[in-house]
Every structure is written in C-alpha cells, then in structure tokens.
Amino acid sequence: MKQIGHFIDGELVPGNSGRQKDIYNPNTGDIQAQVNLATPEELDAAVASAAKAQVLWHNTNPQRRSRIMFAYKQLVESHIDELAALLSSEHGKVLADSRGDVIRGVDVIEFACGVPHAQKGEHTYGAGPEIDVYSMRKPLGVVAGITPFNFPAMIPMWMFGMAIATGNACILKPSEKDPSVPMRLAELFVQAGGPRGLLQCINGDKEIVDAICDHPTIKAVSFVGSSDIAQYVYSRATSNGKRAQCMGGAKNHGIIMPDANMDQAVKDILGAAYGSAGERCMALPVVVPVGEGTAERFLEKMLPAIDSMRVGVSEDKEADYGPVVTREHRDSIKAQVTKAVGEGAKLLVDGRDFSLQGYENGFFIGPSLLDNVTPDMETYQDEIFGPVLQIVRAKTFEEAIKLPSEHQYGNGVAIFTQNGRAAREFADRVEVGMVGINVPIPVPVAYHSFGGWKRSAFGDANQYGMEGLRFYTKVKTVTQRWPEGETEDSAFIIPTF
C-alpha cells in the first residue's frame, strides 16, 4: 500500500509517528494509501530547516525570486496531466475540473512572478528639511498554510505562492484526505530550482494544527476549511501573537430576478450547484427566485436539466460530476436531505439512493433539489457541501437582499438579471464578500483577492493578490537625513514640518 510521509528539507521522508490515516479512492471506495500524521517533533525539524532556508531567501533579490517562481509555474504547467489525475484519484472530482483546480493555483504563481514590482516600497524625497522617508515590505519569516480537501492544488498555491515569492518560507499542512497533490507540488518546487527547505509539506491532523498555532518560530497562519475550525485556528494562532487569516464555510445564494435570461441562469446554476458534487466553497447551493411565477419558470427548465446530468467516475469525460470525498461525507449529505424533508422542505429530486453501476462501493450521490425551503430551517442555515440545491422563494428584491445578508455565512452571492441598476444596487448593499452579476461562481482572478464576510472568514486580510502580499509582509518605514556641519540643539517637542 502506498505510504505518504512528509516533505522536509527538500526530501520525501516516511514519517515516524506510528499514527496513520487511510486515503480512499472515492470512485471505488477502496483504501488506496495511508498518510502519516506528523508529530510536533517532526514539525520542529521542518520549521528549523525552513528558518535556515528563509535567511538566504529573503536576502535574494526580488527578480531572482521571481525567476524561480516563473520556472515553477512552467514546471507545474508541464505536469498538469499527472497532477490532475492524482487529484481526481483522491478527491473524486472529474479530470477537467481537477485541471481547473491546478490552473487556478498556477494563476496565483503567475501573479507572484510580479513580486519585484508588487513588493516595491514607497519613497518620499524631502519629507522634511533634508529628510527622506522610505518604506519597505519585509517578509515575516516562517509562515504556515493549512488547507482543506476540496481544492488540493489551488488553495496550497494561493498560500505558498504568495508567501514564498515575498521572501518567506512556508510550512504547508494539507488536508489529510487528499495530500498527494500538495506533496507533489512541494517536490516540483525543488525541481524548479527552489531552495530546499523553503517549502515543507507536513501531513497531519488536529495535533499538528495545534502545534503550528503554538510554534514560536511560525509568524503567520493562513487557514482554509470549515468555519468552526477556522474560528478555532484564528483564535489559537492570534492568541499566540501570530498573524492569521482563516477562511471558513459558505452558503452562497443565486438570486434570479424576474427579468433574468432564464436559459442562461439555469445553465449557470446547474454547473455552480452540482459541479464538483457541490464540494466548493463558491458553489451555489441556494437559489432565490424573486417575484410571482419566477420559481415556476425556473423549475420548468431546471428539472429536465437535472435529469440530463451525468454522474460518473472521475475519468469519465462525459460525467458532470464524480463521487464525493469520503463515505462519511456522502452519508452526512444524505442525512441533511432527509432532515430537510423533516423540516418541511419539498423534495423535488431525490439523489440519496443513486448508485453507479459497477462502482456500487464508490462515494456517489445523485443530485437533489429541495423546494419551499425557509430561512428558519437548520438545513438552510448549515452548509451541506454536496450536490443539493435548495430553493427559497422570495416575493421582493428587498427580501432577496436580506436572505444572503442575514445568513451566517457571507462568502459569495450571484444575481441573475438584465437590469444593471438593480444589479448595481444589489452588489452595493448585500452583506457578502464576493458578488457575481450574471456570473455564478465569482472567484476573483489572481490579481484581485479572495475573501468572504461574516462566518466565512476570520481575520482581515484576503487570500492572494495585493491582500495576500500584505498578509505575508510587514512594513518598515525609515526616516533619514544626512545633515552637514554643526549639530543642532536637542529638540524637546515632537518635530513638525
């Protein structure tokens, strides 16, 4: 059986904790590998190596750092087929979607190649008499990234791409459900000419997450995962004096205004609700048809569209989505659908009993569609993270703004309309961090930044873009003068210019 250890000091090491976790093939339900769960002592070794590598790296001029990032981008791109296959085999998403996972991560590496420009400081000549002021953005030192199972390529690259380009060393702690792609990404970094020790990959569970939050050498923690854990990591890391950005769960709404192009809205919502089996923090699991008759017009097109979807194994090129990540997760999705019915929702499409011929032990679940969902239902409040779409009918535009605004999560939201004025007002007033206007999954491009509001993100800085650069650097400001001649008398009042 394949054994997955860690990537420490530029080497694959087996891991010596004696604690392991099974990795499944979600298509077949078989255990295909075991991952070692690191000890705090193994983390210490990784941090020591990272700290050593970082000293040289932060003194490497930015254009040289950029060249390494550029070589890395090219190397990852040339391994995309291998990475996508590995990703699908542990996560279950279809191959084309796995490629997208890698590509969206590479986009951040590409942005990070611009670090010589982006990390330039500011300068004021003559801020006072013969006084110049300049500021620089210094790296923090050793930082850590803790990632979820659902984007095992993109999210690690969001973090270590920005962290390393700006002069830090990074300890990556991937999800223990699908660690092979992050491990491979770390190996490729060294192959691309990245200094050994700069990117370490430590596998583990809560024990190692706690050790990261408590480690005195680690200066910042970036986390993406579910909200309760995000909040826990945020408070533990910040109470230890670290900088932290912790992204959490989501329940994104898709608002359909009466004037929406319904054919397009249905196509967009179908992909956004069920793509990747709904295991995306920017999925659209709630649809809000607004006004009289909009829900009926939506259902008229949505029901046949769901019927035409194909659920299949990850390698099936015709499949719209594959299995979910684990058996437990599939069972929890089924339980949520059952609970929704108990709460009074109307189950229009029931995916609970779906089974794929020849793959009966795989973690497959069919699409479900629930109508008459109301805000008081727990299954509306909670994140289901599966191929389940819930319809909450709204009478007015005001109600459509209120629903996502009052939800505990505030990651993304989309509005489908042909009315620019309504869309503009919606985007302005809705209490959500990322808004799509006729765009179902508004994940910002790499040179903007990603982050939700409310319980979808703890901490101030967003991921990647200039926000990411700021998160991984601290500002130092120098005020200098080079006076000539006699020294001046002491000044007892604060200097004013």
Instruction: Please give the positions annotated as active site.
Output: 281
Q: Interface with ligand NAD includes 281 (CB under 6 A)?
A: yes
Q: Tell me the number of residues near ligand NAD by CB under 6 A.
A: 26
Q: Interface with ligand NAD includes 176 (CB under 6 A)?
A: yes
Rule CB under 6 A: choose which of 143, 212, 250, 319 binds ligand NAD.
Answer: 250
Interactions with ligand NAD, residue window 409-428 (CB under 6 A): 411
Choose one: 127-135, 222-230, 337-345, 479-487; the region binding ligand NAD (CB under 6 A). 222-230
* Residue 38 or 260 having the CB closest to ligand NAD: 38
Choose one: 218-226, 267-275, 372-380, 485-493; the region binding ligand NAD (CB under 6 A). 218-226
DSSP 434-447: EEEES-SS-PPPTT
Distance CA 452, CA 225 (A): 13
Distance CA 494, CA 319 (A): 70
Interactions with ligand NAD, residue window 451-490 (CB under 6 A): 452, 456
Task: List CB contacts of 310: < 8 A, sequence separation 6 or more.
Answer: 316, 318, 319, 320
Q: Is 478 exposed, middle or buried (0-12, 13-18, 19+ CB in 10 A)?
A: exposed
Rule CB under 6 A: choose which of 181, 224, 345, 389 binds ligand NAD.
Answer: 224
* Least distance CB 172 / ligand NAD (angstroms): 10
Choose one: 145-153, 299-307, 343-351, 467-475; the region binding ligand NAD (CB under 6 A). 145-153
* Residue 182 or 195 having the CB closest to ligand NAD: 182
DSSP 1-27: -EEE-EEETTEEE---SS-EEEEEETT
Q: In what order do the strands lie in the sheet with 412-416?
A: 346-349, 368-371, 388-391, 286-289, 253-256, 412-416, 434-437
Asked if 313 and 319 touch (Cβ cutoff 8 Å), the reply is yes
Interactions with ligand NAD, residue window 15-44 (CB under 6 A): none
Q: Interface with ligand NAD includes 247 (CB under 6 A)?
A: yes
Interactions with ligand NAD, residue window 146-165 (CB under 6 A): 146-151
Residue type, 148: P
Binding mask 379-408 for ligand NAD (x = CB under 6 A): ----x-x-----------------------
Q: How far is CA 79 from CA 4, 12, 68, 72, 94, in A?
A: 20, 19, 17, 11, 17
Choose one: 130-138, 201-209, 296-304, 391-399; the region binding ligand NAD (CB under 6 A). 201-209
* Least distance CB 249 / ligand NAD (angstroms): 3
In this structure, what DSSP letter does residue 450 have?
B
* Residue 173 or 393 having the CB closest to ligand NAD: 173
Interaxial angle between packed helices 62-78 and 180-191, expressed in degrees from 0 to 180 and rounded to the nearest 10:
130
Distinct helix (H) and strand (E) counts, the chain:
16, 23
Beta-carbon-side half-sphere exposure of residue 376 (alpha carbons within 13 Å)? 3
Q: Interface with ligand NAD includes 180 (CB under 6 A)?
A: no
Q: Interface with ligand NAD includes 226 (CB under 6 A)?
A: yes
Which residue has its beta carbon closest to ligand NAD?
Answer: 225
From the CB of residue 1, how many other CB atoms can be counted at a distance below 10 Å? Answer: 9
Distance CA 487, CA 497 (A): 19
* Residue 219 or 454 having the CB closest to ligand NAD: 454
* Least distance CB 12 / ligand NAD (angstroms): 20
Pairing of strands 368-371, 388-391: parallel
Binding site for ligand NAD (CB under 6 A): 146-151, 173, 175-176, 205-206, 209, 224-226, 229, 247-250, 281, 383, 385, 411, 452, 456
